[in-house]
Amino acid sequence: MNLIKSILKKLNNSITGGAIVIAIFSILAKLLGLVRDRLLASTFGVGDILDAYYAAFKLPDLIFNTLVLGALAAAFIPIFISLKQKDNNNGEFNHWQLSSAVMNIIFIAMVILGAIVFVGANKLVSLIAPGFSGEKLMLTIQLTRVMLLSILLFGVSNVLSGILQSLKKFTMFALAAVMYNLGIIFGIVCLVKTLGPIGLAWGVVVGAGLHLLIQLPAVIKAGFKWQPVLGLRHKAVQQIGKLMLPRTLGLAAGQINQVVITIIASTLISGSLAVFNLAFNLQSVPIGIFAVSLAITAFPAMSESFSQQDKGKFLERFSITVRRILWLVIPMSIFMIALRAQIVRLVLGAGQFDWQDTVLTANALGVFAISLFAQGLIPLLARAFYAFQNTKIPVIISLISVSVNIVGSIILAPKFGVIGLVIAFTVASIIQVVLLLVVLRQKIGHLDEKKIVLSAIKIITATIGAVICLQVTKYIVGNAVDMQTFIGVLTQFVTAGVVGSLVYFILSWVLRSEEIKKQGTINKEQE
């Protein structure tokens, strides 16, 4: 029993353990996300209802993602950790009061902005989806108004997430995403039957509520007690505001980018917005499971290293995390390109989702996958800047990336349809990661490039060998089974995927990749 408790404590409180916990629950959350998307695609098909559903997220996301999601994490966690290390128990403003103040400020802001958008939804939705009209437009407006309730819950919930990440207590934080998807699935399966398509929006609200409730007991147990304070004049709160401001501007640009994509997609053939989002969700699975998990768990440690002015430890954690991300993401991106049609058919190919939808979504998925390595590194690179409390540089680079994406979308979408939107996104992501790497190296001096480049060469070599074996296996199995059936496609996908993965592991071992050996881990993690 003591051994089990010790293992659970290490998993929940250490960096690698935290990454394992987040990865496990991320896998579960992403699997539920695939179930969610399969239910959406099979129930409604690629058409007006799904277009309305995805468009309805844009205004709530514009508010929440801009003001809370990334900006709060970038600013709140370093300041929370700094106050906690001071251990003020003498009545001074401490980390718990900071948590209450930030939570209260965010909730008030969400109420005010949510109310404004609720009242002006008719005009605002027409602006972000100019190609929608009639019942499709009205449904989008109704869904938007209901979804605005979710940002109130998420505002509070993400402060709780920041607290848990700061304390390196990752279990309930990681489980929250699982609960969110369960709420949406509940809406699709149960609420749609009684409420119609508006049940989709209520499912999102239920999911947001579960996201909050699952984290609350762990935060209270850690010592948090809500207090009716704002602390607007306190230095720590003001510092968070200063750190959030440039990040907020960058996120606002990112959200505007999403709005522009929605505007353009709404003018294309029906279902274009649904195809973009379904393909994006599929390619995001490995990013969410591995890259974001590693970036999240490395962030508090990098912040501590900066606080302690230990550049060596900072670089060590950064370098190892980069190499781990590349070791996981590069082969996945190539495998995803090779098996894109099988992935789409297995996950989405049911009910109202027909073969034409499959082909278009698979093509979009293949283009998205090209930039998977870049998308995987961006969360870590951005957090490397946040760790030494520099939020301006990632914002400037994000603005450049967003500009490239918007211009590319405007130029390419009229010629290539939804695929043009995906190409623009892919190019912009690669440009963003290159710029982040260049500027970070200028700021730090070096990024342990020799080890990273050597690892990348080994990873690419192993991936080439693995994908050749995968393709051969895919061809052989494809000729031996009935590819018109679900079982046939599943057999081909699993067999080719397993063979490719085994070859990749074997070649990584032969090439002595550190990521597959014990010496690739950080053995001196703080608990």
3-state secondary structure 389-438: CCCHHHHHHHHHHHHHHHHHHHHHHHHHCHHHHHHHHHHHHHHHHHHHHH
Task: Report which of residues 329 and 517 the model is more confident about.
Answer: 329
Q: How far is CA 235 from the centre of its chain?
A: 31
Contact 432, 378 (CB under 8 A): yes
- Region 409-414: mean pLDDT is 93
- Region 376-383: mean pLDDT is 88
Residue 126, amino acid: S
Confidence bin at 19 (pLDDT 50/70/90): low
Q: Rounded to an integer, what distance in angstroms lies between the CA atom of residue 258 and that of residue 482?
A: 40
Most confident of 300-309, 335-344, 349-358: 335-344
Contact 132, 55 (CB under 8 A): yes
pTM > 0.85: yes or no = no
Q: Which two tokens stand for residue 423?
A: 């190409």
Q: Which two tokens stand for residue 128?
A: 């972000």
Task: Report which of residues 75 and 504 the model is more confident about.
Answer: 504
The pLDDT value given to residue 527? 41
Q: With 70 as the cut, is the pLDDT of residue 88 above it?
A: no
Helix axes 418-444, 235-266, angle to 10 degrees: 150
Confidence bin at 518 (pLDDT 50/70/90): very low
Q: What is the pLDDT of residues 345-375, one digit of tens each?
A: 988 877 777 788 888 999 999 999 999 999 9
Q: Rounded to an integer, what distance in angstroms lies between the CA atom of residue 79 and that of residue 93?
A: 12
Q: With 80 as the cut, is the pLDDT of residue 297 above it?
A: no
The pLDDT value given to residue 214? 94
Which of 60-69, 239-248, 303-312 shows the lowest per-residue confidence on average (mean pLDDT)? 303-312
Confidence bin at 2 (pLDDT 50/70/90): low
In the chain, pLDDT over 70 holds for what percent of residues? 90
The pLDDT value given to residue 197? 94
Contact 139, 197 (CB under 8 A): yes
Q: Compute the mean pLDDT over every residue in the chain, rounded to the nearest whole number.
A: 85
Contact 305, 387 (CB under 8 A): yes
Contact 515, 324 (CB under 8 A): yes
Q: What is the pLDDT of residues 111-152, one digit of tens each?
A: 999 999 999 999 999 998 998 888 999 999 999 999 999 999
Q: With 90 as the cut, is the pLDDT of residue 234 above it?
A: no
Q: Which two tokens stand for residue 413?
A: 């979408």
Which ranges in 167-222 belong to alpha helices (H)?
Answer: 171-186, 192-195, 198-213, 216-222
Confidence bin at 298 (pLDDT 50/70/90): confident
Burial code (b: 16+ CB inside 10 Å, e: under 16) for 312-335 equals ebbbbbbbbbbbbbbbbbbbbbbb
The pLDDT value given to residue 72? 66
3 state SS of 231:
coil
Q: What is the pLDDT of residues 156-174, one digit of tens each?
A: 998 898 888 888 787 888 8
- Region 415-437: mean pLDDT is 93
Task: Report which of residues 23 and 316 the model is more confident about.
Answer: 316
